Chains A and B, each alone.
Chain A
Amino acid sequence: MIQLKDVTFGYTKIAPVFKDLNLELAGGHIYGLLGKNGVGKTTLMKIIAGLRFANSGTAEIFGEPSYKRSPAMLQDLYFVGEEMYAPALTIRQYVDTFAPFYPNFSREQMDAYLEQFELTGCTQRISAMSHGQKKKVIISFALATNVKVLLMDEPTNGLDIPSKSMFRKVMAMAADQERLFILSTHQVRDLHSLIDSIILLDGGEILLAEPNEVITDKLLFKVVDSTEGMTNLLYAEDTLRGIYTVSENVNHEECKLDIELLFNAAISNKKKIKELFSNY
């Protein structure tokens, strides 16, 4: 559904953010886009959405260059940025104004999502709402558009604790085999049960982009008492509960993906990670 080929992009000519980036993403997945601050997560989403243009290489969405921003493409694409456009309209007025751009928009779903977020019957103008409330309105709207590609930049930022749980519920309700979600996040603990594939960005390149089960098939995440005698160890972290380790999953043991550990292991061991997931 999304394909980037040899994408190079920089805000200045001297320091490119990305160099020869290649990425292919399919529907039916919730991708977690991870990377350190300033690594270009938002920029990557903007390139996919056609809001930034690659210096070289191509970014395609539904098989057409995203920079063209054709109406057909825009009907099936929504980008929830960290800063949201919040006009002085009530939720109802907002829906009346912007829903017509999305032929598959469902008012029923919008109401169901608003109900989950406890915003039913809210007549306040969006501009006067708190940051968290604005976010809930925009997320509800974005999901109700039923677009095929939905990009969300730090969706749980600004949400209070119960709202984070509601966000996960609403996402689980909305996910289906036709849709592709990309969530950029630092709040890995908020979203680890939702994300089924990981895109890891570092130093202008993609370290890995794989479904969780491919990652846990190649990497073993395990808490041990001692790392003595452990072969193929990639990363270890001492904690009160024991030593958290990431090693090569030579025997294909079942394990649970720990996204934070994966992140640390990948950043400190780039070469090995790229070797293991070398199809990129």
Chain B
Amino acid sequence: MDFGTDKAIYLQITDYICEQILNGRWKAGERVVSVRELATALEVNPNTVMRSYNELADRNIIVNKRGIGFFVSSDAPELIRTEQRAAFIHDELPRLFKKMRLLNISLEEITNHYQSTENQ
């Protein structure tokens, strides 16, 4: 993993885990790999992975079963989608709108492009 962006490493790891859950590689209800295993695989400090797990547990995406470890919660995919939908509307859309205004691209033009890709 390349931690090249400006985002804190522990948040990049939470994003990575969310992606694994969304694409079905980590399944709801299944046990999450141990902190050490993931730290070794990603070549990061185990404390950083622990911080990511705690963050995901706070967001109810994974749950800590005492003494056994972390598990992907049953509604994790839905939770992540809700979060990402909100982030898209809050962060990405304003950027897109700004660029559209800058380049004089109308909403109709975008709609046409959207529909043409939908038909493909």
A interface residues with partner B (beta carbon < 8 Å): 28-30, 165, 168-169, 172-173, 175-176, 192-196, 213, 216, 221-223, 254-257
Contact of B46 among A165, A176, A216, A222 (CB under 8 A): A176
Which of A175, A193, A213, A221 has the most C-beta atoms of chain B within 10 angstroms of its own C-beta? A193
Q: Is the CB of A172 within 8 A of B39?
A: yes
List B5-62 residues whose CB lies under 8 Å from chain A. Answer: 5-9, 11, 36, 39-48, 51
Kindly state the separation between the CA atoms of A257 and B43 in the bound complex, as whole angstroms.
17
Q: Do A196 and B40 contact each other (CB < 8 Å), given the known contacts A216-B8, A255-B6?
A: no
Q: Report B-chain residues with C-beta under 8 Å of the C-beta of A195.
A: 45
Closest to B8 in A: A256
Which of A172, A255, A256 has the most C-beta atoms of chain B within 10 angstroms of its own C-beta? A172
Kindly state the separation between the CA atoms of A175 and B45 in the bound complex, as whole angstroms.
8
A-B interface contact total, Cβ < 8 Å: 57
Q: Is the CB of A255 within 8 A of B43?
A: no
B interface residues with partner A (beta carbon < 8 Å): 3, 5-9, 11, 36, 39-48, 51
Closest to B7 in A: A256
Kindly state the separation between the CA atoms of A216 and B48 in the bound complex, as whole angstroms.
14
Q: Is the CB of B47 within 8 A of A28?
A: yes
Q: Is the CB of A169 within 8 A of B3?
A: no
Q: Is the CB of B44 within 8 A of A194?
A: yes
Q: A173-B39, A223-B6, A254-B7 are in contact. List 6 more A-B contacts (CB 8 A).
A: A28-B47, A176-B46, A193-B9, A193-B42, A193-B48, A254-B11
